[in-house]
A and B are shown apart, each in its own frame.
Chain A
């Protein structure tokens, strides 16, 4: 071959991160706070590959905003071998970490704009990496709206933070559950699509960030299209695929011609609107 490119021989080698805090957030989701050897240096919306040697590796969203210290926050649903094994770990145990990987959001682009977040279920976890830094400096942004939905009150995540954000000026948080299951609930009942029609959005000023289960995107985008004429370039979707390498090689996460791990997982809707495999 002509010329060897710059090669990182450690591309597939994880760094060790120590679990300093972990607790169940719901029956299926567990919170992890890790201390790494050095700052992760990530952008909102990026992900890491988490390893338990002997069990395997899985792509996990980063749930904290950019930070100067060496902390990494994640919320992990027990869904497979690796995440199942993660649920059996406790503080003091170690996890292997590679990354950060993926496109992510660019915070600068959000400054001065109105922002609408739509989070379905576990979608709040990756979006939190963008929500947190925006809420911290909410004065730098216009109107901030966050719609967060869960199936039942028992499955809601980060409720304390949602309430604290709702108390900020120019911020409105709408919490919903699909059904209350006879549990106490002070939010709304319905799907995350329900409040979209009534929102007073300025299409020119608003950036939208969506994350949720595959089935959610189509319906949220339909509602947005029907009631608000927000250009597709201003809507970001944060997509999920199975990833084995995280670096655009293993092929599992391909969305037609794009790699979710490298070209995404955060895409402008204008980029993926014409890709039939993007939004289920």
Chain B
């Protein structure tokens, strides 16, 4: 695979060029202190500086908050005809940090498992990813260095590594990671580099150690610790101040639960079935017909969310924790409930440091 070494502005020119033929999404400032993945056009001012994880993770460009699953129309004899409009648009998700790259890889596996989900996977197949290796933790909430996500490289078509020679890292190593990435870079006019390894290692060596906050147990140790902590008082401690607003679910790069709803057009004969994000922190999420709620208590829902990220899906898919350590849930929580603190409390209660 080919590698290049060039200045950041040349890379931004390349991305703006890609935006002529595809939707290119890049994290751009939103409001005073936040970022969001927004469409790139010929005039977009792009930068890697000052980034904090976008409020909504980039994977949600592949799993929209609301999407039409199919349209239906009632025939004269009362039968229904169904029609799908596949989303075949080409997308480039650029500036994707390793935490979000791992999130996308985990979504890929979850949606492909068993009955493969056509809506996500078709969109995913048409999405290219340009990842960016973080030279330092984004802010005080990150703990990707503790979940292992910081070193994740799978699923990227192109990988950008800031050189590290200058404090703001304005030169980049640009590596094609897949044939598609190779193709995307073919006419970029970037300077070819034949010593990617040295630059990569140099960037790695300059990374602060430890990288961001550290959990008190490794992702490998956590499933067993959590399995033993089912009745822990820690769940109640955090539930006491939780509003069940579900923000933590909505901003999570590995939350994919959804609700399904039908909508009728005014003619009463046609309409569509939609799916929208849902959230296991929502009080009625596990309610069944007849009114029984299998997770009526807020604490039970916290436990479910944490165990799902660090135990259930870890055991099921063997990809490490499904919490990437991006820190979004804690960063966005109104009452400062941070999954990092919950997990560390559980570890401490289980007998302390298991790193």
Inter-subunit contact B258/A251 (CB<8 Å): yes
What are the residues of chain A within 8 A of B119 when measuring CB–CB?
12
From A5, A12, A55, A245, contact of B121 by CB (8 A)? A5
**CB of B228 within 8 A of chain A?**
no
Q: How far is the CA of A130 from the CA of B28 in the complex (A)?
A: 58
**CB of A161 within 8 A of chain B?**
no
Q: How far is the CA of A276 from the CA of B230 in the complex (A)?
A: 9
Give the residues from 256 to 279 in chain B that come closer than 8 angstroms, CB to CB, to chain A: 256-264, 268, 271, 273, 275, 278
**CB of A134 within 8 A of chain B?**
no
Give the residues from 54 to 109 in chain A that come closer than 8 angstroms, CB to CB, to chain B: 54-57, 77, 79-80, 83, 92-94, 96
**CB of B287 within 8 A of chain A?**
yes
Inter-subunit contact B78/A248 (CB<8 Å): no
Inter-subunit contact A247/B115 (CB<8 Å): yes
Q: How far is the CB of A73 from chain B (nearest CB, A)?
A: 19
What are the residues of chain B within 8 A of A14 when measuring CB–CB?
80, 82
Q: How far is the CB of B212 from chain A (nearest CB, A)?
A: 27
From B258, B264, B294, contact of A241 by CB (8 A)? B294
What are the residues of chain B within 8 A of A77 when measuring CB–CB?
289
What are the residues of chain B within 8 A of A242 when measuring CB–CB?
286-289
**CB of B290 within 8 A of chain A?**
yes
Pick from A39-47, A179-187, A201-209, A252-260 the stretch touching chain B: A252-260
Using A16-B79, A57-B260 as known contacts, say yes or no to A9 and B286 having CB atoms under 8 A apart: no
From A1, A11, A79, A93, contact of B155 by CB (8 A)? A1
Q: How far is the CA of A6 from the CA of B309 in the complex (A)?
A: 26
Q: How far is the CA of A249 from the CA of B258 in the complex (A)?
A: 8
**CB of A13 within 8 A of chain B?**
yes
**CB of B69 within 8 A of chain A?**
yes
Say which size band chain B's interface belongs to: 35 or more
Q: How far is the CB of B261 from chain A (nearest CB, A)?
A: 7
Inter-subunit contact B124/A7 (CB<8 Å): no
**CB of B205 within 8 A of chain A?**
no
Inter-subunit contact A13/B70 (CB<8 Å): yes
**CB of A24 within 8 A of chain B?**
no
**CB of A175 within 8 A of chain B?**
no
What are the residues of chain B within 8 A of A247 when measuring CB–CB?
114-115, 117
Q: How far is the CA of A76 from the CA of B316 in the complex (A)?
A: 34
Q: How far is the CB of A279 from chain B (nearest CB, A)?
A: 10
**CB of B280 within 8 A of chain A?**
yes
What are the residues of chain A within 8 A of B125 when measuring CB–CB?
1, 4
Give the residues from 64 to 87 in chain B that come closer than 8 angstroms, CB to CB, to chain A: 69-70, 72, 74, 78-80, 82, 84, 86
**CB of A112 within 8 A of chain B?**
no
Inter-subunit contact B292/A280 (CB<8 Å): yes
**CB of A244 within 8 A of chain B?**
yes
Inter-subunit contact A249/B70 (CB<8 Å): no
Inter-subunit contact A213/B121 (CB<8 Å): no
What are the residues of chain B within 8 A of A27 when measuring CB–CB?
none
**CB of A21 within 8 A of chain B?**
no
Nearest A residue to B268 via CB reads: A54
Could you list which residues of chain B lie within 8 angstroms of chain A, going by C-beta atoms? Answer: 69-70, 72, 74, 78-80, 82, 84, 86, 105, 108, 110-119, 121-122, 124-125, 154-155, 230, 256-264, 268, 271, 273, 275, 278, 280, 285-290, 292, 294-295, 304, 307-308, 311-312, 315-316
